[in-house]
Amino acid sequence: MNEQAEVRELCALLRSKVPIILIETHEEPRILKLLQQACNLENQVLFRWSIVDGIGRYQGAASDSSIYQTNELTDALKHIDKTAQNGVYALCDAHPGFASPVNVRLIREIALEHYRTARTLVFVSPRLEDVPSELLRLAAHFRPQLPTREDIRAILAEEAKLWHSQSGEKARGDRAIVEQLVLHLMGLEVEDVRRFVRQALRADGEINADDLRRVLTTKHEALGAGALGFEASKVRFEDVGGLARMKHWVALRRAPFLESVGAGNADRPKGILLLGVQGGGKSLAARAIAGEWGVPLMRLDFGALYNKYYGETERNLRQALAAAEGMAPCVLWIDELEKGIATGGAEQDGGVSRRVLGSLLTWLAERDKPVFIVATANDISELPPELIRKGRFDEIFFVDFPHAAAREQIAAIHLRKRGHDPAAFDVAGIAQRSEGFSGAEIEQAIVAAGFEAKARGAALASSDIFAELERTRPLSVVMAERIGALRAWARDRAVHADEEAGADRRAP
């Protein structure tokens, strides 16, 4: 990290006579060190305030004896307002005080008198999203640099060297896992990175998959994601039957997506919309994409977003999307998209769904973090046209009922998953008898046949599965009209997610 560049930026803010500087960070000691360097260069005195210590002149890692009765923020601001002492006042964790009109007025009076008495207020806090608008007009933001890949690798090397000197053992770790750890530590502050690396090495002297999962879980918990669920997906494309064209499309974009981390937003893959029949494997495909790319899967729960109070739903969405960016690189899975933002009933819900749609569209257009969207939908007619136009998603894939070869793959996957050898079954016969079945329906037929066989005290046989398939009326029959309409819409508007020899690229 280039600390000198950060010091120069702080010096420029002090020279420009900005009365209020806002620094949102968890790295309070590092920021105070940078502020001290900047104040020394600009011949200014640095003071530090906290509710525990009050106001004191900052000297390295500590403050001088504090000024009497300045522990409360209001009293501290009154002291600063009345003193003739020029200087920089670092107010640590003062954000709760913004709720007080008295404090807001005192801060404004100090800021408005800056041309007479140069008292610069620097608010250092992990949370600064509730700063009143009347103060924002007088303030400038300073955003500390986050460590790059090279910085994280350097921290890894330092900690590995320290572990070796203390234990006499060399640190171990698979190169691929280490690189994944580096990738997922990006976006964290320096001390967080160092703590995670140290925790991984001190546990067993090795960086492994368990350490990777721990980092991702801790990141998710620290973000307070609310409506955003986290999953370290172990599903791979080999666990998904069919969908060959979609798998190929996704595989080509893995490297560009991961290489774009920390390298700007140029040509980064944005995401896909999976439209299709229920039980066709759309949700499983979302998990498989995250598993193949080795990134966390974040699931947006629209049910947890909605709140009866005005504006709270949109706020929850913004917090969830910010948490997704905090987990980047990741896959953001929005399941059954039409149920969350369908606008047909916008008048009945007071316009909440339209405001949610607006917030989502803005984020889709402006996000600059590596968050790959996988949205799934069963009913395209419920989706607003502005969401599905080209540019929101890189591609729209239509997931139809699986063809014969895909049905064989699906049957084999589910037999193997339950401890059976597919070679001992007539997989081709299962595929033939399950024409028009979705993947979920084939799985359920195998599950039900297993129950029947167990009840008889016999081993599962192909004939049991045949009989269960014969008794089942698939969705393609029960909902034939609706599925026909869905296929008609997708024919010239979506790419078929699967392919057979000679199959056209567009949906059937």
pLDDT digits (tens, 9 = 90+) for 118-130: 999 999 999 887 8
Q: 5 or 491, which is more confident?
A: 5
Q: How many residues does the chain have?
A: 508
Percent of the chain with pLDDT over 90: 45
The per-residue pLDDT for 186 is 80
The per-residue pLDDT for 502 is 35
Q: How confident is the model at residue 1 (pLDDT cuts 50, 70, 90)?
A: low
Average pLDDT, whole number, for the chain?
Answer: 86
Token digits for 122? 């620097």
Parse the chain into domains and list their residue ranges. 3-141, 149-223, 231-399, 404-472
Q: How confident is the model at residue 262 (pLDDT cuts 50, 70, 90)?
A: low
Give the CA dihedral 435, 441, 443, 445, nearest 10 degrees. Answer: -80
Mean pLDDT score, 162-172: 88
pLDDT tens-digit map of 58-89: 987 666 678 889 999 999 999 999 998 899 99
Angle, helices 404-417/439-456, rounded to nearest 10 degrees: 40
The per-residue pLDDT for 340 is 72
Q: How confident is the model at residue 506 (pLDDT cuts 50, 70, 90)?
A: very low
> Which of these CATH numbers, 3.40.50.150, 3.40.50.300, 3.30.470.10, 3.40.50.720, describes 3-141?
3.40.50.300
Q: 200 or 251, which is more confident?
A: 251
Domain covering 404-472, topology = Helicase, Ruva Protein; domain 3 (1.10.8)
Q: Which amino acid is at 77?
A: L
Domain covering 231-399, topology = Rossmann fold (3.40.50)
List the single range of 50-59, 81-90, 98-107, 357-366 with lowest mean pLDDT: 357-366
The per-residue pLDDT for 63 is 60
The per-residue pLDDT for 505 is 45
Q: How confident is the model at residue 8 (pLDDT cuts 50, 70, 90)?
A: very high
Check pLDDT > 80 for residue 2. Answer: no
pLDDT tens-digit map of 386-406: 887 777 889 999 999 999 999
Domain 3-141 and domain 231-399, same fold? Reply is yes
- Strand segments (E) across 154-221: 172-173, 206-207
pLDDT tens-digit map of 372-390: 999 998 877 777 888 877 7
- Sheet of strand 62-63, all strands in order from the earlier edge strand to the far edge: 62-63, 54-59, 46-50, 87-92, 119-125, 20-24, 139-141
